[in-house]
Amino acid sequence: MNQRLIYVMGPSGAGKDSLLDWLKNKLPPQSPIHFAKRTIDRPLQALGEQHESVDPASFDRLQKEKSFAMHWLANGRQYGVRHGELEPLQQQQWLLVNGSRAYLPEALRQFGGLNVLHISASADILRARLLARQRETPEVVDARVQRAVSFSVPTSCRCVRILNDTSLDDAGAVLLNKLSSLPGWPAG
């Protein structure tokens, strides 16, 4: 069952959300591929990932109630995936979870056999994208880029790697090609 779970991760600025949106728009409407909705302790944003927005106190309450199958802290925000979001796996369908690099060891422990989708970009591209957002100081951006460059996926897991340095369509085509090589990935 966990072989149909794709744990997506990568550094800020790699274009994970954009690439996942690209993939959603390319899949047929009745596709057996689902995207887990995350619960995040931040307001719903006009652009970007659609998620369940809760305040930090509500997130803490949900966590204490064991409402999450997965939960982690990243970049000062709490993220969770509710148990119900994993239902497609019970129906032998595919599920993509937008996760965190720091949570990967726990995800591997909980869901042995999952596939890892590591989306990244070169250091120069990451730096440029993060600076363009104007959310953080150049020093914070440099620290993020250094963490991204030094991160490596454990060799013990199946990993699809995407370097998102060019156009979204180019990276998306590579992504779709690599996902279609996974055993059991739906054709078409």
pLDDT value for 47 = 47
Q: Would you call 75 helix, strand, or coil by DSSP?
A: coil
Per-residue pLDDT of the chain (188 residues; tens, 9 = 90+): 589 999 999 998 999 999 999 999 998 888 899 999 999 987 666 445 678 889 999 999 999 999 999 999 987 889 999 999 999 999 999 999 999 999 999 999 999 899 999 999 999 999 999 999 888 899 999 999 999 999 988 888 889 999 999 999 999 999 999 999 888 888 66
Residue 63 lies in a domain: no
What's the structural domain count of the chain?
1
Task: Give me the numbers of helices (H) and strands (E) for the chain, helices first please.
Answer: 7, 9
Tell me which residue of 179, 147, 170, 137 sits closest to 15, measured CA to CA. 170
Residue 187 lies in a domain: no
Residue 150 lies in a domain: yes
pLDDT value for 45 = 62
Q: Are 40 and 78 in contact (CB under 8 A)?
A: yes
Residue 65 lies in a domain: no
Please count the CA atoms within 13 angstroms of the CA of 3 that sit on its side-chain side. 6
Residue 70 lies in a domain: no
Taking the model in full, what pTM does it have?
A: 0.91
Residue 54 lies in a domain: no
pLDDT value for 46 = 45
Q: Which residues face 71 on adjacent strands? A: 80
- CATH code at 26? 3.40.50.300
Host domain of residue 103: 2-36+85-179
Residue 74 lies in a domain: no
